[in-house]
Structure 1
Amino acid sequence: MGIERITAAFAARKKEGRKALIVYLCAGDPSLEVTGQAVRELAGAGVDLIELGVPFSDPVADGPVIQAASERALAAGVTLPEILELVKSLRSGLAVPLILMSYYNPLLQYGLERLTADLAAAGVDGLIVPDLPLEENLPLRQTLEPAGLALIPLVAPTTPGERLARIAATARGFIYCVSLTGVTGVREGLPPGIDEYLAGVRAVTDLPLGIGFGIGSPDQARLLAPMGDGIIVGSALVDVLHQEGLPAALRLVERLRHAL
């Protein structure tokens, strides 16, 4: 399914005149069993796409909440092969797109051709690799594309227009629009100039735009929703899941879904 499943998820919401809700979970925090339960229940609560973070020792794009989650998962011994097994066990009966978010080092160590074969076999639909720039992504793109898997790029308010167009030309699935400069983590209010920035991204692509980084409340989601096709919530959900457990995480998702 891969790219097709991602495209279908955005198209279904668009047909309803609504925006997609995309959430991030750190796989294995606090355990792979809890992650699996969370994925099933979040999908049932109206989440449209789920990103599963592959824990990494140096998550440079992430703020303290996701860094801490990554450290807890690594301390519990969570590995990429185990995450792929989890996805495989989840995939039967689960229609929601599942996207792995990983830094490049674990993927390169795994081997790109083996990785692609195992992603496809497990039922993963795409990859987000925050530290893989356009200039270096060709080997991964060339292995993923024939398998129908999406390499979803990140763009930022600081991305120049000409580079934006080149990134958009190679993007698959959707474009991850980082809403601010800096790392992940909940912020207050909306970044200045975000409407012009997102209009600039929209001008170079017909792909759906997912807006993430810094979105933690239904009010923020409601304000940003008209500017893109989906809202991505990570740190706020990871924090609630860690501090208060799955029922509280589901309540947050229900409020976000209602806002969208």
Structure 2
Amino acid sequence: MTSRVAAAIDAARAEGRGAFVGYLPLGYPDLEASIEAAVTLAENGADVLELGPPYSDPVMDGTIIQEATQAALAGGFRLRDTFTAVREITRRVDVPVLVMTYWNPVLQYGIDRYADDLLAAGGAGLITPDITPDAAAEWIAASRRTGLDRVFLAAPTSTDERLDLIIENSTGFVYTVSTMGITGERAQLDAAARTLTARLRDRGATHACVGIGISNAEQVAGVLEYADGAIVGTALVRALRDGGQDGLADTARALAAGTVRAAN
């Protein structure tokens, strides 16, 4: 099966751009507004949507995203709302939707049931930050059965053997973590991201998107000198918090402007 996410990255490349992957938490500031925000993001330049159901113990999230997810949980977000949101978003826009989820909620829901419900809602796959391919046999089987994408994370500390495992089992793209630690904005992205992407390329990765620490068009452009896509989260959540849908649209357009590659 063709990966819708890989196809979106390839379509951007054919237009002389890198891909813009935009993250937003579901349920923030409430479920309806989060659906609207995802649509706004898709309509203002995002090539792929990464949507995060709020989780009570978000080990990778920085302060701004944590505050948003805590607000979503306090507002009564339930796991099943994930599928409601994805269904509504994919009904309105064609941009592929990946769900970025910690593994425990998937286990509790049931791996096959989760895959089936995500597929039925029009979702494209999962980004799973806290499970590695060697521990994900059931998810790999379920995603192969349903055609959903599996996006695993590669870190600068990953061994070559680990990278091989990640590349072999990822579809859509490899999520390339630019820094060790939590998400958030950093004035200067690590050279580690460039090195890691080169290692992934050397080992056969065809689609590598860099996330964690990208907050403006200049940083997007910098990442896209060597990666296939730039993943932005915190800057978008802040824009939604401070400026509502209009602020989010403005920020998304500004970030998308950084995806156009200069002619060689």
- TM-score, scaled relative to structure 2: 0.94
Which residue does 1:51 correspond to in 2?
Answer: 50
1:67-78 equivalence runs, <5 A: 67-78=66-77
Residue 135 of structure 1 deviates from its aligned partner by 2.2
Using the TM superposition, name which of 38-47 and 188-197 deviates more. 188-197
Residue 118 of structure 1 deviates from its aligned partner by 0.5
Residue 205 of structure 1 deviates from its aligned partner by 2.5
For 1:128 and 1:182, the matched residues in 2 are separated by: 17
Root-mean-square deviation over aligned CA pairs: 1.3
Which residue does 1:173 correspond to in 2?
Answer: 172
Residue 254 of structure 1 deviates from its aligned partner by 0.9
1:159 aligned to 2:155?
no
Letter in 1 for 2:239: V
For 1:90 and 1:181, the matched residues in 2 are separated by: 32
Unaligned runs of 5+ in 1: none
2:21 partner SS: strand
Which residue does 2:118 correspond to in 1?
Answer: 119
Q: Which runs of 4+ in 1 moved over 6 A?
A: none
Residue 214 of structure 1 deviates from its aligned partner by 0.5
For 2:194 and 2:91, the matched residues in 1 are separated by: 39
Which residue does 1:20 correspond to in 2?
Answer: 19
Residue 12 of structure 1 deviates from its aligned partner by 0.7
2:80 partner SS: helix
For 2:222 and 2:239, the matched residues in 1 are separated by: 22
For 1:87 and 1:62, the matched residues in 2 are separated by: 21
For 2:40 and 2:62, the matched residues in 1 are separated by: 26
Q: Deviations over 1:70-106 (max 9, x none)?
A: 1011001111211201211222242100010111111
For 1:125 and 1:67, the matched residues in 2 are separated by: 24
1:1-260 equivalence runs, <5 A: 4-260=3-259
Letter in 1 for 2:253: E
For 1:193 and 1:105, the matched residues in 2 are separated by: 29
Letter in 2 for 1:20: A
Residue 252 of structure 1 deviates from its aligned partner by 1.1
Percent sequence identity over aligned pairs: 37
Q: Deviations over 1:17-75 (max 9, x none)?
A: 11010010000010111111112222111210001101000000111111111101100
Using the TM superposition, name which of 241-250 and 14-23 deviates more. 241-250
Is the CA contact 2:53–2:100 (under 8 Å) kept in the aligned structure 1?
yes
For 2:181 and 2:243, the matched residues in 1 are separated by: 27
For 1:190 and 1:100, the matched residues in 2 are separated by: 25
For 1:125 and 1:10, the matched residues in 2 are separated by: 13
For 1:227 and 1:133, the matched residues in 2 are separated by: 25
For 1:97 and 1:65, the matched residues in 2 are separated by: 25
For 2:68 and 2:192, the matched residues in 1 are separated by: 31
2:198 partner SS: helix
1:219 partner SS: helix
Is the CA contact 1:173–1:207 (under 8 Å) kept in the aligned structure 2?
no
Letter in 1 for 2:200: V
Unaligned runs of 5+ in 2: 260-264
Residue 250 of structure 1 deviates from its aligned partner by 1.1
Aligned residues: 259
Q: Deviations over 1:116-159 (max 9, x none)?
A: 11011001101011111222111111111110001100001111
- TM-score, scaled relative to structure 1: 0.96
